[in-house]
Chains A and B, each alone.
Chain A
Amino acid sequence: EAQVTQNPRYLITVTGKKLTVTCSQNMNHEYMSWYRQDPGLGLRQIYYSMNVEVTDKGDVPEGYKVSRKEKRNFPLILESPSPNQTSLYFCASSLSRPGGVTGELFFGEGSRLTVL
């Protein structure tokens, strides 16, 4: 079954304790992306990756890191989480096309993170 898998789905942590949210897709998609969703603010892109070893900042990259060592995995790292990073996080993947992406995104089920 084609899918994007995120873990953990729910996490409560404390300020400053490093955490990683994993994302894996089994569709051989080149493009992967992380979003956070907050009430009234919609989906905001954190980082995206057009392919292995290629990552770029989205609209709200501060406080986050990513890596793309393999095509299927795109982990999101919070080196020192703060309460303003409490949010619902989505990973997504898509095929690429020449010059860009197709826009047909497949999303993971989301990871709800609370930072105390």
Chain B
Amino acid sequence: RKEVEQDPGPFNVPEGATVAFNCTYSNSASQSFFWYRQDCRKEPKLLMSVYSSGNEDGRFTAQLNRASQYISLLIRDSKLSDSATYLCVVIRDDKIIFGKGTRLHILP
């Protein structure tokens, strides 16, 4: 089993809809969690950190569930510009572990 797993998608969602996807991690010693966004053929960029108390940034909400070992990302009122691949990142000591990403397509 991979240490960080994501549904690869693609998720095809109409503009304006709410979309959510999860990322599961297998090592309970994991310490920090992040969502990154990667546009096609571009470098990944940090989207937001993820905390147990939840973290909201505009239309984006991230949540950590340590008991069930998953993190989630919710995007409200989706825009065409939200089309991208969303990468889940887990930190354990000096290891930075990337999920393979979830592809999101926002449809006009």
Contacts and interface: CB of A to CB of B under 8 A. Distances in A.
B69 to A, nearest CB: 17
Contacts of A43: 44, 87, 98
Contacts of A81: none
Contacts of A105: 36, 44, 46, 89, 96
B27 interface: no
Contacts, number: 59
A90 B87 CA distance: 15
B91 A103 contact: yes
B42 interface: yes
Given A100-B31, A103-B89, A33 B43 contact: no
Contacts of A48: 94, 96
A109 B46 contact: no
Contacts of B98: 35, 42-43
Interface of A: 31, 33, 35, 40-43, 45, 48, 50, 56, 88, 90, 94, 99-105, 107-110
10 closest A-B pairs by CB? A42-B100, A107-B43, A103-B91, A43-B98, A100-B94, A100-B93, A103-B32, A103-B34, A109-B43, A110-B43
